[in-house]
Amino acid sequence: MSLRYSILLVEESHYNPVVDNDDNGYRQTKGGTRMRGWRSRSLKSTILELFIPIIILFVLAAQSVSYLLASQQLEQNAFTSIFDIVSQTKGFLNDKLTEVVSDLTVLDKDTDLASIVNSTQSPAYELQPEDHIRLHKLLDQAYVNHYPTIDSVLMYFHPGQISLFKKNDLATTIDVPLSMYQDKMSQKSLSVYQWLNLHTITNRDREQDEQRVVSVYKLYGKDLKHANGIVMLNIKEKFFKEILNNPIISPNGYLGLISEDGFMSFRHVDPKYELPEEELQKKLLHATEASGKIYIKSDHDENLLVIYDTLPINKWKLAAVVPESELLEKVSYFKYVTFTVMVILIMVAALLSNVLANFISKPIIQLTRKVNRIKEGHLDIKLDRLPNHEIGVLDRGICEMIERIKVLLVQVEEEQEKKRMAEMIALQFQIQPHFLYNTLYSIKQLCDMGETKDAGEMVTALAQFFRISISQGNEIIQIAQEMDHIRHYLYIQQMRYGDDFTYEIDLDPALGQYSIVKLTLQPLIENAIYHGIKEIRGKGHIRIYGYEDGEDAVIKVADTGAGMPSEKLSTVNACLKGGSTEGPGLGFGIMNVHKRLQLNYGSGYGLHFESEHGKGTTVTVRIRTHSLSDKEAV
């Protein structure tokens, strides 16, 4: 039998004749009746039984994800369809324009035309009737072959020598400013056929009759600057309009032809979907790929998709411009429906999950509150009975642990206090023998010199010194008592060293009522005498003064001794801050005092040295003026 079921048996034996729980969370009674126990069923079975409906709902949600994938496929199909329209239109248009260029090539390569052009290079040559017949025959051939496409044909050589313009059945002579076409040349080579996007030409016979055409032409001459002839085919606007307007892309979608000299489109769309032609030309003509898609915003901040391809015949861009909102309208509707269904499913799942979470988390929350109170240091918590499943086992285990912790804390506090007291006493006793040895040695010297009176006074001062040091076993004494202690100590030291130093005590009387760890100042004064004043010639001076600083008391011991170099001073303060007893100039007594002050007042208190080489040293003692608990002190 598992530990969980054993605990349930023990706890419920007082209420029901339960002998065991089966794996499904039912309680089996002695009479054989199986009854469902909600509070005693296992946490595992509870989670499984309540999560099954949620899992079913999320399976349905997964189905909605598949619909999202289908919508993405619809988007892809929409893009593919437009690509196909552009590609097919490009192929058809390129084939038609190639046929037109073929006719222009036939004209360009015709030997009769070349012969006549060569003859007219001489200003004295005049065209003969047979020359006119041959030229008209060439124009008729080019015009008739592609009558539905070709609007007119132009030949112009050696200004004034050859000049023919044929439209329908009429042929006229015209003057052509070649410089206009030279300026429009995108390439410097005369061997390349040039194209002009949709532009207007005027019927020479009827100036009011204007036609819009697309032109393909070739200049003749030694080079571009010396061009002296042109052959041009003009293609009807109607031809391009039928091709570009035939595909239906969307209500506001359209096809257009883009070249360096213009943009051709014939669909009228909502003004908010109109594109800035210059921006479209710039982006498409500088595109690194021959085909692709780009997104452009209209002046009304509408997103427009531009799918483009390149005509091989003249490198113009055929572009389909489609409002993104129209392209994905059906897809967006499909996504909206799917999203709505998904939101409903999520709301239902969240509702059921909330019910499940409340049912499962209630005992966990109660257990968490207990743990948080324990973390805050409150061990006196109320022991509530939790359900008889895994959380209940944890709760009872925590309660038992708290009781044991309470006992252990009492033991630890007692041991810590004993340890602190023992450490303070040990540190104090380490200082007393150190001073006693030196003083007894001085008394011996006075006796050896026959100075019995001085030796007796020194013994009396020493007795008073140790009387205050003992202080009836108290570790903490008033600052006033500590100052009496120091006066006896200084008297003894003056007896030993004569007129080597003087001293003064200038302490704020208000400090006398506060407490201090005994034997704090004596090692500091001893250090000032031995390591400061004795190192200089002449008489030194020791000043002891103190004052209140907020909630702290500050007592300073300053001497006019040898002082310390800055490097040594930094090392001493670093050793005090780090608690190390090693370092130049850091005596045992100094570290002893520093440790005792920190044990009693905390790590932010203790000693700090200030010194200047050759000018003396000042030691600052900082203590608290109010009482401190043992925990804070340690």
Average confidence (pLDDT) per 10 residues, the chain, 634 residues = 34 39 43 46 62 71 73 79 90 90 83 79 76 79 75 80 77 75 70 85 59 87 78 89 87 88 86 82 86 87 89 91 80 72 73 71 74 73 61 75 80 72 55 66 79 79 73 76 86 78 90 87 86 87 92 93 90 81 62 84 89 92 70 39
Candidates 181, 198, 199; CA nearest to 190 is 181
Q: Under a CB-based contact definition with an 8 Å cutoff, are residues 317 and 258 in contact?
A: yes
Flag whether the pTM goes above 0.85. Answer: no
The beta-carbon contacts of 164-170 under 8 Å, at least 24 apart in sequence, are 164/135, 164/136, 164/139, 165/204, 166/136, 166/139, 166/140, 167/203, 170/205
* Alpha-carbon gap, residue 158 to 164, rounded angstroms: 12
Which stretches of 449-518 are DSSP H helices? 452-470, 479-497
CATH architecture of 78-323: 2-Layer Sandwich (3.30)
Q: At what angle do helices 521-531 and 588-601 cross, to 10 degrees?
A: 160
351: Cβ contacts below 8 Å, ≥ 6 apart: none
Tell me, what amino acid is at 145?
N
pLDDT of residue 160: 67
Report which DSSP code applies to 320: E
Q: Are 180 and 167 in contact (CB under 8 A)?
A: no
> How many Cα atoms within 13 Å fall on the side-chain side of residue 20?
6
- DSSP-based three-state secondary structure for 149: coil
β partners of residue 474? none
Give the Cα-Cα-Cα angle 584, 586, 592 (nearest 5 degrees).
155
Rounded CA-CA distance 179/200 in Å is 18
For residue 159, the model assigns a pLDDT of 73
Distance of CA 226 to the CA centre of its chain: 65
The Cα–Cα gap between 575 and 569 comes to 10
Q: Which of 314, 182, 296, 200 is nearest to 257 (CA)?
A: 314
Cβ-Cβ contacts under 8 Å for 155 (sequence gap 6 or more): 107, 113, 135, 138, 139, 162, 163, 164, 165, 230, 231
d(CA 118, CA 130): 15
Pairing of strands 26-29, 34-36: antiparallel
Could you confirm whether domain 412-633 is CATH 1.10.3720.10?
no
Given this model, what pLDDT does residue 99 score? 87
Specify whether the CB–CB gap between 363 and 391 falls below 8 A: yes
In this prediction, residue 62 carries a pLDDT of 72
Alpha helix stretches (DSSP H) within 110-160: 111-119, 129-145
3-state secondary structure 188-225: CCCCCCEEEEEEEEECCCCCCCEEEEEEEEEEEECCHH
Spatial CB neighbours of 430, under 8 Å, sequence gap ≥ 6:
588, 592
Which pLDDT does position 151 carry in this prediction? Answer: 85
Q: Give the per-residue pLDDT at 473.
A: 59
pLDDT of residue 434: 58
Chain-centre distance of CA 59, in angstroms? 35
Q: What one-character DSSP code corresponds to residue 540?
A: E
**What is the predicted pLDDT for the residue at 555?**
95
Looking at the DSSP assignment, which residues form a beta bridge with residue 50?
A: none
Q: Where are the domains of the chain?
A: 1-41, 78-323, 412-633
CA–CA separation, 328 and 317 (whole Å): 24
pLDDT of residue 410: 81
CB atoms within 10 A of CB 372: 11
